[in-house]
């Protein structure tokens, strides 16, 4: 079906088919010698036989091999005209199939064209155009209006409107200036910027995504494995069946007709095509799916577990208050120690504290030593003293000196609170608040509309804070004070009860849980390599409504595959064999009967590229 020799050149292949067909038609009309018809038969058979033998060497019994065998039998039985027509029908059918499949592949391969081959490098006061492969980290590149960003880097001068739609799925351009990160493959709609190259080629976010997409098709879904198994078992049995029919009937026409319906290998080939079309459709929305199995599991999901911070909330908390609990320390003293502790952390709450310190014009030095326990807190040394920053349980832990804590104020129960301690004595507390995402409530509601009612919220935050978020979103199963290891335990418990669990998190603190879940979905993957590494699916933007698109896409994909299997195997092959046995169909009619459903199957699979959701 691939026709490796010619398939990269569609027009020459079409000319080849039409030339061979022209010989076949011209022979009786122009009174040409009879061997001209045999030449046309040979030309029609050549690409089919080539692929049939090639696949046989790969231990695959294909339709091409069946038709090649049928051609030999037809020549012995003097049915050259019938088999020649069959060959031309199959050639034309497979030519159209290749066009459809190449269109799907091109949608993915076109990503390569997003990266320019030549770039403008700034050298002193001069701008020099050089090949991209000569660029090294640290080079300064100039990108002007209409240009593509060739590397990952940071803007050092200029302002521009950057279109990141192919990464995030968001159509609106992003205004970026000095200090902003830019990513390879994005497009400068307006302005002019100079960037310092940080990552190049396969090390860029674009490069990592491209590599993952290439590997995506290698992670086979169970339904693909099933189709492969059907093909590998069915085809040898069918050959034996044809031999039995030959001994019972001695009818060559029946055998040729049966062989045309013989191999279901195209079903095994079109199933991965369906998944590929779905992966392309998702990528166009700014969603990276790392394998077929992720879509299949998502379609069967009955339980969704959400992290809170950065997932259901905006992930941009703000410092609400800082309270000194020791007269020796001012509010700025507490803020400075907290900022020093958080300086090396990538957590969302760390960014809020550092931003607030910047607003207060504090200079934040590096800690002398730094130890972080994910999901709990941080210990540092600074100027010879030991400091702790973390939640109440972390600061009160025995290994931290059983720090004596004040009673928690009721008016702060709905806030996220961190405590700062010095050498076993409490210094003060920092309260932060986060906002719920605007699309979170609607997303939860739409999931319930799709019969996913087993929805959990797991948070390392206080129970009161988690409860408040759950109440606003309509999530009843809410658990606060959940540490990363406890999340793993809860996921395993759900899975042990037979639930198919999807975990949605931020991809950093939730990396172990994302890996444990049947499907891990990371939010906001732009620039977050841990998210891409840990999750099965990455939402490059932070739009929760993408989950609904994903769920609908997964169901549409499996529905398409099931329809294709019914049309292709249960109907076409089964009915075709019955018609052949009762001699209600001849080889030419069989070829047409086989080709039309194949077209329907291919177009049904390829249409997923344009999937927009319900």
**pLDDT for res 6:** 40
- The three-point CA angle 497-499-501 to 5° equals 130
**pLDDT for res 402:** 57
d(CA 614, CA 612): 7
Give, for 502, the enclosing helix (H) or strand (E).
strand 501-505
- According to the 3-state scheme, what is the secondary structure of 359-424? HCCCCCCCCCEEEEECCCEEEEEECCEEEEEECHHHHHCHHHCCCCCCCCCHHHCCCEEEEEEECC
Q: 344-394 pLDDT, tens per residue?
A: 776 767 888 999 999 999 999 999 998 887 667 889 999 999 998 988 777
**pLDDT for res 75:** 87
Judge whether residue 263 has pLDDT over 60: no
Q: 437-467 pLDDT, tens per residue?
A: 999 999 999 999 999 989 999 987 778 888 9
Average pLDDT over residues 131-150: 88
State the pTM of this model. Answer: 0.67
Asked if residues 105 and 279 have their Cβ atoms less than 8 Å apart, the reply is no
* Closest among 93, 77, 134 to 254, alpha carbons compared: 77
Strand-pair partners of 432 = 319, 416
**pLDDT for res 301:** 95
Judge whether residue 3 has pLDDT over 50: no
Q: How many other C-beta atoms can be found within 10 angstroms of the C-beta atom of residue 614?
A: 12
Active site residues: 307
**pLDDT for res 458:** 92
d(CA 46, CA 30): 25
- Confidence grade of residue 576 (pLDDT, cut at 50, 70, 90): confident
Judge whether residue 232 has pLDDT over 90: no
**Residue 568, C-beta contacts closer than 8 angstroms, at least 6 positions apart:** 264, 266, 267, 270, 597, 598, 601
Exposure string of 406-427, with b = 16+ CB inside 10 Å and e = fewer, is eeeeeebeebbbbbbbbeeebb
Asked if residues 132 and 150 have their Cβ atoms less than 8 Å apart, the reply is yes
d(CA 503, CA 456): 9
Q: What tokens does 47 get?
A: 């690409």
* Closest among 606, 602, 599, 598 to 263, alpha carbons compared: 598
> Is residue 297 classed exposed, middle or buried when 0-12, 13-18 and 19+ CB atoms within 10 A define those classes?
buried
| Coil vs helix vs strand at 153 | strand
Asked if residues 479 and 583 have their Cβ atoms less than 8 Å apart, the reply is no
Q: 551-563 pLDDT, tens per residue?
A: 999 999 999 988 8
Judge whether residue 193 has pLDDT over 70: yes
Average pLDDT over residues 551-580: 85
| Coil vs helix vs strand at 19 | helix
**pLDDT for res 155:** 92
Alpha carbon 269 to its chain's center: 20
Judge whether residue 97 has pLDDT over 70: no
| Coil vs helix vs strand at 190 | strand
Give one DSSP letter per residue of 516-551, joined into a string.
HSSEEEEE--TT-HHHHHH-SEEESS--TTHHHHHH
d(CA 427, CA 389): 10
Asked if residues 178 and 191 have their Cβ atoms less than 8 Å apart, the reply is no
Average pLDDT over residues 411-420: 75
Q: 454-458 and 477-479: which strand pairing? A: parallel
Long-range contacts of 229-238 (CB under 8 A, 24+ apart): 230/264, 230/267, 230/268, 230/569, 231/60, 231/61, 231/263, 231/264, 231/265, 231/267, 231/268, 232/60, 232/61, 234/263, 234/264, 235/61, 235/262, 235/263, 235/264, 235/265, 236/61, 238/262, 238/263
User: What percent of the chain is predicted at pLDDT more than 70?
Assistant: 82
Judge whether residue 436 has pLDDT over 80: yes
- Confidence grade of residue 224 (pLDDT, cut at 50, 70, 90): low
Judge whether residue 534 has pLDDT over 90: no
Strand-pair partners of 417 = 431
Instruction: Please give the mean pLDDT across all residues of the chain.
Output: 81
Sketch out the chain's domains with CATH numbers: 10-109+213-274+555-610 (no CATH), 116-200 (2.70.150.10), 287-314+436-540 (3.40.50.1000), 318-433 (3.40.1110.10)
Q: Which of 111-115, 125-129, 512-516, 518-522 has the lowest mean pLDDT?
A: 111-115
Judge whether residue 57 has pLDDT over 80: yes
Strand-pair partners of 196 = 140, 154
HSE at residue 126, side-chain half, CA atoms within 13 A, is: 4
**pLDDT for res 535:** 82
Asked if residues 430 and 322 have their Cβ atoms less than 8 Å apart, the reply is yes
- Confidence grade of residue 592 (pLDDT, cut at 50, 70, 90): confident
Selected residue with higher pLDDT from 6 and 36 = 36
């Amino acid at each position: 079906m691939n026709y490796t020799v010619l398939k990269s050149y569609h027009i020459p292949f079409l000319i080849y088919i039409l030339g061979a067909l022209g010989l076949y038609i011209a022979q009786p009309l122009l009174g040409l010698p009879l061997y001209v018809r045999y030449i046309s038969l040979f030309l029609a058979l050549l690409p089919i036989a080539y692929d049939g033998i090639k696949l046989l060497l790969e231990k695959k019994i294909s339709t091409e091999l069946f038709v090649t065998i049928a051609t030999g039998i037809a020549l012995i039985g003097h049915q050259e005209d019938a088999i020649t027509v069959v060959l031309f029908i199959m050639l034309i059918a497979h030519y159209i199939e290749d066009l459809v499949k190449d269109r799907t592949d091109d949608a993915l391969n076109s990503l390569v064209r997003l990266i320019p081959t030549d770039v403008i490098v700034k050298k002193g006061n001069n701008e020099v155009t050089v090949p991209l492969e000569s660029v090294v980290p640290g080079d300064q590149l100039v990108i002007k209006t209409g240009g593509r960003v060739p590397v990952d880097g940071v803007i050092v001068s200029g302002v521009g409107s950057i279109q990141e739609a192919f990464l995030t799925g968001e159509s609106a351009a992003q205004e970026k200036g000095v200090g902003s990160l830019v990513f390879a493959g994005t497009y400068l709609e307006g302005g002019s910027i100079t960037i310092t190259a940080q990552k190049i080629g396969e090390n860029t976010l674009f490069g990592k995504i491209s590599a993952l997409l290439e590997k995506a098709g290698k992670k086979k879904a169970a339904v693909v494995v099933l189709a492969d198994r059907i093909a590998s078992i069915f085809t040898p049995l069918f050959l034996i069946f044809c031999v039995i029919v030959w001994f019972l009937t001695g009818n060559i026409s029946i055998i040729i007709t049966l062989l045309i319906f013989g191999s279901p290998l195209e079903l095994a080939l079109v199933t991965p095509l369906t998944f590929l079309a779905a992966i392309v459709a998702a990528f166009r929305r700014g969603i990276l799916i790392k394998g077929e199995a992720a879509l299949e599991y998502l379609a069967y999901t009955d339980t969704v577990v959400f992290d809170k911070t950065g997932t259901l909330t905006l992930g941009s908390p703000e410092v609400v208050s800082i309270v000194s609990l020791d007269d020796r320390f001012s509010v700025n003293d507490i803020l400075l120690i907290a900022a020093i502790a958080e300086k090396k952390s990538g957590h969302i709450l760390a960014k809020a504290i550092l931003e607030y310190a910047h607003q207060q014009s504090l200079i934040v030095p590096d800690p002398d030593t730094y130890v972080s326990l994910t999901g709990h807190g941080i210990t540092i040394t600074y100027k010879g003293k030991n400091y702790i920053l973390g939640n109440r349980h972390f600061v009160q832990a025995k290994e931290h000196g059983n720090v004596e804590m004040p009673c928690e104020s009721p008016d702060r129960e709905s806030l996220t609170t961190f405590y700062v301690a010095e050498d076993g004595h409490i210094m003060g507390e920092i309260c932060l608040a986060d906002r719920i995402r605007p699309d979170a409530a609607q997303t939860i509601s739409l999931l319930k509309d799709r019969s996913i009612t087993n929805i959990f919220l797991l948070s390392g935050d206080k129970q009161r804070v988690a409860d408040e978020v759950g109440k606003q979103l309509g999530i009843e199963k809410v658990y606060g004070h959940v540490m990363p290891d406890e999340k793993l335990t809860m996921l395993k418990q759900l899975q042990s009860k037979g639930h198919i669990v999807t975990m949605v998190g931020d991809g950093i603190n939730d990396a172990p849980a994302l890996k444990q879940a049947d499907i891990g979905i990371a939010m906001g993957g732009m620039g977050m390599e841990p998210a891409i590494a840990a999750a099965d699916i990455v939402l490059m933007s932070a739009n929760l409504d993408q989950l609904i698109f994903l769920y609908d896409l997964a169901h549409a994909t499996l529905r398409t595959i099931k329809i294709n299997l019914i049309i292709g195997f249960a109907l076409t092959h089964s009915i075709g064999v019955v018609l052949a046995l009762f001699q209600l169909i001849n080889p030419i009619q069989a070829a047409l009967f086989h080709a039309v459903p194949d077209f329907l199957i291919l177009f049904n699979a390829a249409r997923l590229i344009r999937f927009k959701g319900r």
